[in-house]
Structure 1
């Protein structure tokens, strides 16, 4: 029996040897698998969160909705009274300087002109007679055949005749001018915005007949709150049209209302547009943007992105192609609750590591997994 026990013990020992070898092999494979993960991570780079640097004015810009208006809009009317014979333009029509807009009936004015010319001819004949009588009176008085009273009388008659001639001349000129006023013409290039007369209508002198907006100068009209009056006066302004949002126009404050609107408590401001073109139509909707003049441009970055080595704060900038990081010193202007304001050191659009900068090494490559917005 003792021999059988010894034999069984040897067999069990032989069976245990392969099991131990199998366990050792599995442990080696497991360790090899664990060692591959750091190698793979080292090849792909350390995952990081980044923030994009964007420089802008320190104080935020303010935008207002406005309307494009003409700087000069003229209510044009006839300088003489009369009956409208023709209206030659319609609303929205573009006109040039000197272009006829409307015409009055000229019959009565032509009769007045003929009457003035007849009076001028009569006054010319009277002057000729008075001058001849004055000449004879002077000759007779020189020979002693006339008195001083008769000479003075002929002189007075001659002076009156000359005055009548001057009045007749002026009357002829006035009637000619009145005839020219029967045609209403545009005094500048522009657009007709209103027509307030129709053919057959009798109008008075100076009554508004046609309204023309000059196209030479245009402006943006907006309502400014009282808190931004200083920025409106001294700040930089630009205008964009809703129809062309990518095109910007320089704007300059031309007029600011001295009194606020009773209902809105805002001040009406008019900004001239020296770069306006014919493509900018009157009445278009525009956006006026106000910014402080000569304002320093800053960027806001997360506080966790700053790496301070004791002398100066720095940022880790990530190369977009290689994934390498570079530590660059920056100038910090102020600190906030969760952000820092910088004025320089990194370029516009640079991507900086936002978290875990204390564990980074400049020789280490990173992999961007997400971007933060600030």
Structure 2
């Protein structure tokens, strides 16, 4: 089978390789991959900015069809359409695993970074991690469940109340998913972006943002004043989804006193930010690492009910053979969510 692999350490070093199709081991299943999303984490792995083992097949946002059951699997059938949580294994014994937070397990091994992932024709995953795809949910929407579960987990931390203003910086795939989850919770959303994000800001408008602001279109103080005035003294909730240092600084300036700051984007490096604002404003600052199992249930419900849609988020599906064009498109912000799999491109 074909698989997109990070073959050695160092920047780049991705190759499409032929490798043996896995035989599912005890408790596992083999999926025929229908769609695998390219995540910012995959870009960070490509650039050696995120922990991973080599060689490894990339891809942790996966939707597929079961084609083979390993020994001991009785609750699933060949032909079932499923998504898979991204953890291949955790210890199951630490305080985090036992407390329902396997995302924090020190021994966690995830597909796409520590174990071969879904940017391949087939992938082996544990049956215990599977969720059935609702009948009317498409393959591309289903492959969004992993980033959507991460978003749900992040927004659970900031606890949006109906009617609250939520400022989201970064109208990429995670930002647009956060917008939809925030609106489903009753929040009123202001989406921030830069000039390069013009089409993404239009997508945010289509998805129900109350306002979109190009922060490069005017001077910094004017942007801050505009947001503070619109939110009547500062936003109760701000979400950083861009992974850009200046974005974090801006959000610290527009969040109100005793507000909640949620970090969703990854920077891949240290950034300068004025943490004194946490004290001066008595802020609650939260971050999230991947997702927890309960967030997947909520994510699937949002997709099934139509509260979250893939239409404005997914730009298309590229073939594995065209992976280089797909990655270049993501890096250049030439599209929103790009997927590899059975293709339209």
Larger radius of gyration, structure 1 or 2? Answer: 1
Q: Which has the higher contact order (CA 8 A, sep 6+)?
A: 1
TM-score range, shorter chain: under 0.3
Give the TM-score taking structure 2 as reference length. Answer: 0.20
Relative to total residues, which structure has the larger strand share, 1 or 2? 1
